[in-house]
Chains A and B, each alone.
Chain A
Amino acid sequence: MPARVVVLGGGVGGTLVANLLDKSLGHDARVTVVDPTGMHDYQPGYLYVALGEASGHWLSRDERTLLRRGVDLAIEEAVRIHPDAQTVQLRSGASIEWDYLVLATGARLMHEAIPGLAEGSFGFYSLPDAERLREELRRFTGGRLLVGVAGIPYKCPPAPVEFTMMVEEYLRKKDIRDRSEVTLLSPLNRAFTIESASTLIKPIMDERGIELATFFNVEEVDASAHTVTSLEGEKRDYDLLVLVPPHKGQQVVIDSDLGDAGGWLPADKFTLQVAEHEQIFALGDATNLPISKSGSTAHFEAPVIASRIASRIRGTAPTEQYGGRVMCFLETGNGKATALRFDYEHPPVPPQPNRGWHMAKWIFNRAYWETVPQGRLPEHAPGTMPKEVAR
């Protein structure tokens, strides 16, 4: 009797876990991915769509084409998880039973949670938002362009910094830079979460005349007055406002009483087990771990969960642990980028932004579809850990 593994969510985390389990267990497991749309989106591409550097059609693929033949795909919305009964209830009314459950449900955007955000600002965290911003940028003839964050936690901490650096270049190429002011509204007292990266980025921002506003956590937007207000009590005028919207865990997590105040799943930092539920695991954006909500996090977590579940199914003790590995590229404009590579034991040592890393990001982004979700990359990739911290 094969063990039943149900994976909720067909993003990078869910797809990779499912494929690795099928590869390792074959007929010893029946793996099913449940996803509401059956489409797999490559979110890192939205940044480039917003800046007119790429179109959206390469950013979405049928999940069925990314899953191994032995993995089932149910295009359904999960509405309730029953840990004791070990079932998942679907919107259609049907129910799926599981022996092991992997929650790869991701994060959703909550534009409506911030007054005035939808009416008064633009974004690039979804394809429609990125396309709308692209059109607005095309119409932009100069003015005060502000980039900020309207909720924490949010996916991809580098993204607002990347957008700010790249839009400054965009304005120069459009010959309206001298008629514009570009400002990054940072939630922190520096440009970026990681201090060593902030130290590299700040001089570049200064050189390009990009203003940094600190401790600015967006609380409200006034679309008619064109002002944005922070919870720290500051108000600023804008002509074009680009915001990262608030994020929340999925409703199924909240309705199942499994999530915290934000709908995020409490998970063990090493085993990725959800709270006391020994048969339930979580990875990627859906967890409440204070780590990066990044595709690479899900990518590095997936083999740990696949290995632990496979061990349990075989009746051996699980040994794999997630060591906190994250790998993020960070574009700094002008064809250059740096890289953030770290884990729980090794802080990041980002290199001076260069063209090699920008090229590496470009190549990796385009190789994604044929490599990452199928588990075709060696475990340490993309790239390697920096020489001075390699183990």
Chain B
Amino acid sequence: MTDSETFSVVLFSGTDDKLQAAATLSVGAAVMGRPVQVFLQYWALDAFRADRITKDHGVAPEAGPEGAAALASHNGAHWSELFRQAADVGEVHIHACADSMELLHITKDDLDPLVEGIWGVASFFGAADGPVTFI
């Protein structure tokens, strides 16, 4: 029928609202048959540390107290669970940016098993055949 265009995401932000959005988009792309390539940088990478992945990562400033309350009362799956489930729905790959690992002094062992491996920027662009979304 058609070839599937990869959904490539540079996931930079580390607040729960943006991580939730990224996870939801990944589920959508996966069910529509598009391979998902997530590249974790900076604060998103930090949020994927095994010892804090499900802890409170706050919300973006524009959410305000009402936005934060809305997200807190939302009875859905945690974004980390959604990423895990997305990997069963379709093809989902999550890699950590090597430079961000170095900057934040993070090692592979520190990261949740959701993170498949460590890539340099060049590897990510090798896998990202198409537009890149920045979150």
A and B touch in their complex, CB below 8 angstroms: yes
How far, in whole Å, are A367 and B76 apart by their CA atoms in the complex? 21
Partner among B24, B32, B85 whose Cβ is within 8 Å of the Cβ of A381: B32
Q: Which of chain B's residues 13-44 have a Cβ closer than 8 Å to chain A?
A: 24, 27-28, 30-34
Q: Smallest Cβ distance from B80 to chain A, in angstroms?
A: 11
Q: Is the CB of A356 within 8 A of B4?
A: no
Does B112 have its Cβ within 8 Å of any Cβ on chain A?
no
Nearest residue, chain B, Cβ from A367: B32
Chain B residues whose CB sits within 8 angstroms of the CB of A339 once the complex forms: 88-89
Residues of B within 8 A of A355 (CB): 76-77, 81-82, 85
- Chain A hits for B4, CB < 8 A: 378, 381
- How far is B34's CA from A364's CA once the two chains are assembled, in angstroms? 12
User: Do A335 and B75 have beta carbons less than 8 Å apart?
Assistant: yes
A350 to chain B, nearest CB (A): 10
- Docked-complex contact A375 and B1, CB < 8 angstroms: yes
Comparing A3-11, A106-114, A150-158, A382-390, the segment that makes contact with chain B is A382-390
Taking A356-B89, A371-B32 as contacts, is the C-beta distance between A379 and B1 under 8 angstroms? yes
Among B81, B84, B85, B91, residue most surrounded by chain A Cβ atoms (within 10 Å): B85
B32-A382 in contact (CB<8A)? yes
The answer to the question of A351 belonging to the interface, with a C-beta cut-off of 8 Å to chain B, is yes
Asked if B30 and A383 make an inter-chain contact with CB atoms under 8 angstroms apart, the answer reads yes
Nearest-neighbour CB distance to chain B for A135, whole angstroms, equals: 28
Interface residues of B in 82-105 (CB under 8 A from A): 82, 84-86, 88-91
Q: Which of B24, B34, B75, B77 has the most CB of A within 10 A?
A: B77
Q: Please, which residue of chain A has its CB at the minimum distance from the CB of B5?
A: A378
CA distance A265 to B3 in the complex (A): 33
**A97 CB to nearest B CB, Å:** 29
Cα–Cα, bound, A383→B30 (Å): 6
> Is B2 in the interface zone, CB < 8 Å from A?
yes
The chain A residue with its CB closest to the CB of B86 is A356
Q: Are B85 and A357 neighbours in the complex by a CB distance under 8 Å?
A: yes
Residue pair B85, A356 in contact (C-beta under 8 Å) = yes
User: Chain A contacts of B81 at CB under 8 A?
Assistant: 354-356
- 12 A-B residue contacts at CB 8 Å? A339-B89, A354-B81, A356-B27, A356-B81, A359-B27, A363-B27, A363-B31, A363-B32, A377-B32, A381-B31, A382-B31, A383-B33
Identify the B interface with A (CB < 8 A). Answer: 1-4, 24, 27-28, 30-34, 75-77, 81-82, 84-86, 88-91
